[in-house]
Structure 1
Amino acid sequence: MRLPVTIRAMLAAVAAAMLVLLAPAQPASAHARLVNSDPANGATVTTPLTAVTFTFNEMVKQQFSTVVVTGADGVSYSDGTPKSVDKTLTQAVKPLPSGAVKVAWRTVSGDGHPIEGQFTFTNAAPAPTGAVPATSAPAAVASSAQAVVADQASGEAGSNGLLWAVLGGVAVVLALAGGAVWWRRRSTSG
């Protein structure tokens, strides 16, 4: 069974409209990604660290970057705010305690999309002489983590908004095509 020319033309128009609506959304998937970290995930560090460094495949926005370096004692050892130069983000750290260290990071790609991750490493470096333990309270780490989750939720809402806009556009085009077919059939039968 062959479809009438009008219906075939409408289906072709709907397919073309879907391509136009979906094509601009493709470049948005090219977000920055973490290429390397120093120390690496799962590494054992044997010399005292002064900073944790992240290397991305493209530049990230320093003003929206946060890094929380937490020792096994639950205390944050991040020292100041992270600094970004080219594709590298560096977070200074206070003298770290021995044991497992968790690093949670969040930044924003050049296209405005938030990216984040976490990893752990083991600090086996001898404690520096005269080292004073960090005084950041675990509550400060918790509030920082809550801020990261809130920012992530708002970022995801923006991504979902684009999806709903595209789906809404497709629905409108299909409704218009259906209405045109209905109008055409009604005009020819009456």
Structure 2
Amino acid sequence: MRTFRAVLAAAAVALLVLLAPPTPAWAHAKLVKSDPADGATVSAPLTAVTFTFNEPVKQQFSTVVVTGPDGISYSDGTPKSVDKTLTQSVKPLPAGAIKVAWRTVSVDGHPIEGQLTFTNAAPAPTTTAPSSPPPATSAAPATASAATPTVGTGPASSDSGASGLLWVVLGVVAVALVLGGGAVWWRRSRTG
């Protein structure tokens, strides 16, 4: 009888562990703030756009496209990630509405994305166009190809989520087997 109680107690503890809420490590990164903020008006020249998340993001899968009112991309190089901040350098921006589209990957492998718009009211830059060629069509494929590795991480994020689900299912099956085995043992011990 003591063995049955011990098995039952162990099964109850295992069940409680499995039903406990997931740890924060399974949560996806969330954007906490951006500089400039969505809808802001900027009066000083910008050299970068920054995003602050609640947890680190993967730099190698991050893309940020900063587009001026002329449809030209003003992103300068690739974004850099330090701790929980993702920074995209920008070329001198023209006056007007600036659109920023970003995409990155949480440390858990989940892709996240968003966009914002701000108004650039800073004095006009000394050069009227960025140093790269102006065709907007050449900037769009570069952005799409930079985002291609992120698409490749989609299955990885699904795999990590599926892996967690697999462990939960295996845990439930193990608890069921322990309870079933305990019940069979208990019946045999009572009849024998």
| Counterpart-to-counterpart distance in 1, 2:41 and 2:168 | 47
How has the CA–CA distance of structure 1 residues 82 and 73 changed in structure 2, closer, same or farther, with 3 Å as cutoff?
A: same
2:79 equivalent in structure 1: 82
TM-fit CA distance, 1:15: 1.8
1:174 equivalent in structure 2: 176
Task: Give the conservation status (yes or no) of the 8 Å contact 2:58–2:104.
Answer: no
| Counterpart-to-counterpart distance in 2, 1:119 and 1:39 | 12
Task: Give the conservation status (yes or no) of the 8 Å contact 2:65–2:75.
Answer: yes
- 1:165 pairs with one of 164, 167, 173: 167
| Counterpart-to-counterpart distance in 2, 1:51 and 1:168 | 47
Per the alignment, in what secondary structure is the counterpart of residue 77 of structure 2? coil
RMSD, aligned α-carbons: 3.5
Per the alignment, in what secondary structure is the counterpart of residue 23 of structure 2? helix
Per the alignment, in what secondary structure is the counterpart of residue 169 of structure 1? helix
Unaligned runs of 5+ in 2: none
Task: Give the conservation status (yes or no) of the 8 Å contact 1:45–1:121.
Answer: no
| Counterpart-to-counterpart distance in 1, 2:154 and 2:42 | 31
What does 1:88-107 align with in structure 2 at a 5 Å threshold? 88-97=85-94, 98-107=96-105
| Counterpart-to-counterpart distance in 2, 1:72 and 1:153 | 35
| Counterpart-to-counterpart distance in 1, 2:141 and 2:59 | 24
How has the CA–CA distance of structure 1 residues 85 and 168 changed in structure 2, closer, same or farther, with 3 Å as cutoff?
A: closer
Segment of structure 1 superposing worse, 27-36 or 79-88: 27-36
TM-fit CA distance, 1:174: 1.0
| Counterpart-to-counterpart distance in 1, 2:51 and 2:116 | 13
Residue identity in the other structure for 1:18: L
TM-fit CA distance, 1:33: 4.1
Task: Give the conservation status (yes or no) of the 8 Å contact 1:102–1:121.
Answer: yes
| Counterpart-to-counterpart distance in 1, 2:81 and 2:63 | 11
| Counterpart-to-counterpart distance in 1, 2:97 and 2:186 | 75
| Counterpart-to-counterpart distance in 2, 1:28 and 1:87 | 15
Task: Give the conservation status (yes or no) of the 8 Å contact 1:37–1:55.
Answer: yes
Unaligned runs of 5+ in 1: none
Per the alignment, in what secondary structure is the counterpart of residue 144 of structure 1? helix
- 1:37 pairs with one of 34, 38, 42: 34
Residue identity in the other structure for 2:157: G
Segment of structure 1 superposing worse, 30-39 or 160-169: 30-39
Q: Deviations over 1:141-169 (max 9, x none)?
A: 22333432332441232123112212212
Segment of structure 1 superposing worse, 65-74 or 165-174: 65-74
Q: Deviations over 1:42-83 (max 9, x none)?
A: 323344322101234455554554333344666543211223
| Counterpart-to-counterpart distance in 2, 1:152 and 1:73 | 33
Per the alignment, in what secondary structure is the counterpart of residue 137 of structure 1? helix
